[in-house]
Amino acid sequence: MERTLVFIKPDGIEKKIIGEIISRFEKKGLTLEKMNMVTLSKAQVDIHYQEHLEKPFYPELRDYILSSPIVAMVWSGSNAIAVVRKLIGATNPSMAEPGTIRGDYALSLPFNLVHASDSEVSAEKEIKNIF
């Protein structure tokens, strides 16, 4: 069994689609292990997005993630990381396929509704940081 971190970003909270997002993962057969609505600290956001700290868009991204609580979740299942990433769609919503979460509900970056771990190493680090 593989585990992955998913969090619903502020725009997903604002759009009131938390249940829809969770439902898609449940219907796929993934198991929700943990869930918490939390406002991240600046330090947690900086750790989470460490690879983007020096990029020009980072201050806007950090402010956006800190603008409201997020819904953080740990999902598990066979190939959970790849399955979740397929369900959420491409990072850039304009390239996300219809039928994916981002393809159906998101318009632009950074407002792409959800974050999902991209590897087992990232998942372990991100779960530890958020939970």
The 3 state secondary structure assigned to 29-71 is: CCEEEEEEEECCCHHHHHHHCHHHCCCCCHHHHHHHHHCCCEE
CB 100 within 8 A of CB 106: no
Pairing of strands 31-38, 70-77: antiparallel
From the candidates 105, 115, 116, 126, which is the catalytic residue? 115
Calpha distance 91→24 (Å, rounded) = 18
Active site residue 48: no
- Whether 88 contacts 102, CB under 8 Å: yes
Q: Which residues are catalytic?
A: 115
